[in-house]
A and B are shown apart, each in its own frame.
Chain A
Amino acid sequence: MTRWLGLGLAVALAFALAVLLGPAHIPLAQLASSDIVRSLRLPRAVLALLVGGALGLAGASLQALVRNPLADPFLLGLSGGASLGAVLAIALHVTGPWALPLAAFVGALAAMALVYRLGLVGGAELDPRVLILAGVAVGAFASAVTTAIVSLSEAAQLRNTFLWLWGGLSGASWDTVLVVCVYFPLPVAVLLAAARPLDLLALGEEPARHLGADVEPLRRRVYLAASLLTAAAVAVSGVIGFVGLIVPHAMRLLWGHRHRSLLPASFLAGGALLALADTTARVAVAPRELPVGIVTALVGVPLFAVMLRRWTAS
Chain B
Amino acid sequence: MDRELILDVRGVAYRYRGTAHDALAGVSLAARAGDFLAVIGPNGSGKTTLVRVALGLVAPHAGTAQVLGRPPAAWSRRALARVAGVVPQREDNLFPQRVRDTVMLGRYPHLSLWGAERAEDRAAVERALERCDALRLADRWLWTLSAGEYQRVRVARALAQEPRLLVLDEPTAGLDLRHEMDLFELARGLADGRGLAVIMITHHVNLAARFADRVLLLADGRPVADGPPGDVLTRETVERVFAWPVAIEAFDGRPQMIPLRKGREP
Q: Contact: B86 with A210, CB < 8 Å?
A: yes
Stretch of A35-43, A152-160, A192-200, A221-229 at the chain-chain interface: A192-200
CB contact under 8 A between A210 and B55, given known A193-B114, A196-B113, A199-B108: yes
Total A-B Cβ pairs within 8 A? 71
In the complex, whether B20 has a CB less than 8 A from a CB of chain A is no
For residue B111, which residues in chain A have a CB less than 8 angstroms away from its CB?
Answer: 196
Q: Which chain B residues (53-94) contact chain A, with CB distance < 8 Å?
A: 55, 57, 76-78, 80-82, 84-86, 88, 90-94
For residue B90, which residues in chain A have a CB less than 8 angstroms away from its CB?
Answer: 204, 206
Q: Once the chains are docked, how many angstroms separate the CA of A258 from the CA of B80?
A: 23
Interface SS of chain A: helix, strand, loop or mixed?
A: loop
Q: How far is the CB of A270 from chain B (nearest CB, A)?
A: 19
Q: Contact: A252 with B55, CB < 8 Å?
A: no
Q: How far is the CB of B139 from chain A (nearest CB, A)?
A: 13
Interface SS of chain B: helix, strand, loop or mixed?
A: loop
Q: How far is the CB of B76 from chain A (nearest CB, A)?
A: 8
State how many residues of chain B have any CB contact under 8 Å with chain A: 32
Closest to A197 in B: B108
Q: How far is the CB of A252 from chain B (nearest CB, A)?
A: 7
Q: Once the chains are docked, how many angstroms separate the CA of A193 from the CA of B112?
A: 10
CB contact under 8 A between A213 and B77, given known A196-B111, A200-B105, A206-B57: yes
Q: Contact: B93 with A202, CB < 8 Å?
A: yes
Q: How far is the CB of B128 from chain A (nearest CB, A)?
A: 13
In the complex, whether A203 has a CB less than 8 A from a CB of chain B is yes
Determine which of B76, B81, B95, B97 lies in contact with A210 in the assembled complex, contact meaning CB atoms within 8 Å: B81
Q: Contact: A122 with B17, CB < 8 Å?
A: yes
Q: Contact: A196 with B88, CB < 8 Å?
A: no
Interface string of A111-131 (1 = CB under 8 A from B): 000000000001000000000
Q: Contact: A211 with B94, CB < 8 Å?
A: no
For residue A213, which residues in chain B have a CB less than 8 angstroms away from its CB?
Answer: 77, 108
Q: Contact: B77 with A212, CB < 8 Å?
A: yes
CB contact under 8 A between A258 and B101, given known A202-B94, A212-B81: yes
Closest to B85 in A: A210
Closest to A259 in B: B95
Interface string of B105-136 (1 = CB under 8 A from A): 11011010110000000000000000000000
For residue A220, which residues in chain B have a CB less than 8 angstroms away from its CB?
Answer: none
Closest to B51 in A: A210
In the complex, whether B161 has a CB less than 8 A from a CB of chain A is yes
Q: Contact: A257 with B108, CB < 8 Å?
A: no
In the complex, whether B96 has a CB less than 8 A from a CB of chain A is yes
For residue A257, which residues in chain B have a CB less than 8 angstroms away from its CB?
Answer: 94-97
For residue A23, which residues in chain B have a CB less than 8 angstroms away from its CB?
Answer: none
For residue A171, which residues in chain B have a CB less than 8 angstroms away from its CB?
Answer: none
Q: Contact: B113 with A252, CB < 8 Å?
A: no
Q: How far is the CB of A253 from chain B (nearest CB, A)?
A: 10
Q: Once the chains are docked, how many angstroms separate the CA of A213 from the CA of B114?
A: 15
For residue B97, which residues in chain A have a CB less than 8 angstroms away from its CB?
Answer: 257
Closest to A192 in B: B114
A residues with a Cβ closer than 8 A to B are 64, 67, 69, 122, 193, 196-197, 199-200, 202-204, 206-207, 209-214, 252, 256-258
Known: A199-B108, A203-B94, A209-B77. 17 other contacts (CB 8 A): A64-B94, A196-B108, A199-B105, A204-B91, A206-B57, A209-B57, A210-B57, A210-B84, A210-B85, A210-B88, A211-B81, A212-B80, A212-B81, A213-B77, A252-B95, A257-B94, A257-B97
Listed from nearest, the 10 A-B pairs whose CB atoms lie closest are: A212-B81, A257-B95, A212-B109, A210-B86, A212-B78, A202-B94, A207-B91, A203-B91, A204-B91, A207-B88
The contact sample of 11 A-B pairs, CB cut-off 8 A, is A69-B94, A202-B94, A203-B92, A210-B81, A210-B88, A211-B105, A211-B106, A211-B108, A211-B161, A214-B76, A257-B94
